[in-house]
Structure 1
Amino acid sequence: MVRLPAAARWTLRLAALAYVFLLVAWPVALVVQQTFADGLLTLSESLSDPQVTYALQLTATVAFWAVVINLVFGVGISLLLVRQEFVGKRVLSALIDVPLSVSPVVVGLALLLVYNGRDGWFGKPLEEAGWQIVFDTPAMVMATCFVALPLVIREVVPVLQEIGDEQEQAARSLGANSPQTFWRITLPSIKWAVVYGVVLSMARSLGEFGAVKIVSGNITGRTQTATLVVEAKYQNFAQETAYATSFLLILASILSLVVVAILRPRAHTS
């Protein structure tokens, strides 16, 4: 490995710090500053706004179900990709990364075309059966699941590849069935990858905007999530409420990452 001169190393470090500061730390710090410019007044007034409180509750509901669905299918798909050989495996692996490259607005439009009650492929039959998909919570959950789909899988797959399947084969040779092998051998080995995937998926779900805006209809008091409230409040010259709501979203995501970062070293040293 080529060792760079000290001046070059310090230049690269400063450039990296400046990049992260200007792109992440400074904008986030300004949101926090604007939120607490009047102490806790802005935050308390925002939390007493029915539009904001409902949006936060809806956001938590949508994020929860999206994370649960992505957890179940993410672990299952990860096991399928690593432990099984089948035709189309590379295609499936490539499709998993589509949400990272496709605009969320395009995702929302695609879901609208499929599940729209007027001319969607499945929308009209589902509405006739009493299921409202588009412009309601189900479509918002589906859109959020799509954009957060790769996060659990891309955390779990490398760990599964690293640990191999020797212990799983040994467990099966001793008479363990598939569920027993998964719960006692596989899951404990990948638990921290699953936790990180869940945290990243939750943070992504809390902040989703484009796809949710398309499929939700942005109906105040019904399908308006926290990110949509931020846009609405800012455009309606209620910037203080927009800053406070943004701060709450940032806080939830950062706290999740911090808690996992604190707990993981303890688990390894215990």
Structure 2
Amino acid sequence: MHVDVEIEGGEAIALRVREELARRRLSRQWLADEARVSLSTLEKALAGRRPFTLATVVRLEDALGTSLRGVPAPTVHTFAPESMGAYARPAVQWLEGSYLTLRPSFSEQGAVFAYLTEIGWDDVKGHLVFSEAGRLDAQYEQKGFVSFPNLSGAIYLVTISDGQYRLALLNRPVGGGTICGILMTLAAGQGAQLIPSAVPIALVPMAGRPEPQLGVVRHGDAAYEEYRSCVDRIAEGGFALFPV
């Protein structure tokens, strides 16, 4: 009977994997698929809730194209800067993971725009970061840092690029772990004009979900009713205010 071997240095391996994912803007779901391991197994190993086996590490190395063994762990910072809320890593680990992100489409009235958002800890910088993937308009995929001040308990996903800001202002999770709030950004107007816009946005945990439909989801699509409901309940349920 074959018995897989548990290996030492799991914490260093987990740190290296998270660093590689953040640096390359890859999702945990992508890595799980490429390495042929379940997302649940990968997330538990990265969180230190189960040991790495030799077979799993070899598959991860093949998928990432880099060695994960015998590499010194990077310096780990466990507290975010005061400007981001001075939160501690253990206090925000529940926020790490992959999310199906839903908001109204700017291009088609009534449609929902769906993509992925990955939130994880940057071990070198010492705070949470996020990155987007799976957008049809890939050139506009965002990445940035997460601010989480204790005073309000709100969650901020902030992008700063060449003096331009984009902000998602989110509440703490509600039923099922969904995080709801408002996205403040620039939408395309006439010609090259960009228009300040604010729309409801929902981040739905991907754990345990089937492969989602991404892109512009229209009435009649299989996922439309679920996605539209997630977006509509933000205003209807009082998770964000859009006064007229």
TM-score (norm 1): 0.20
Q: Which has the higher contact order (CA 8 A, sep 6+)?
A: 1
Rg larger in 1 or in 2? 1
Query: Which structure is higher in helix share?
Result: 1
Query: Which structure is higher in strand share?
Result: 2
TM-score (norm 2): 0.22
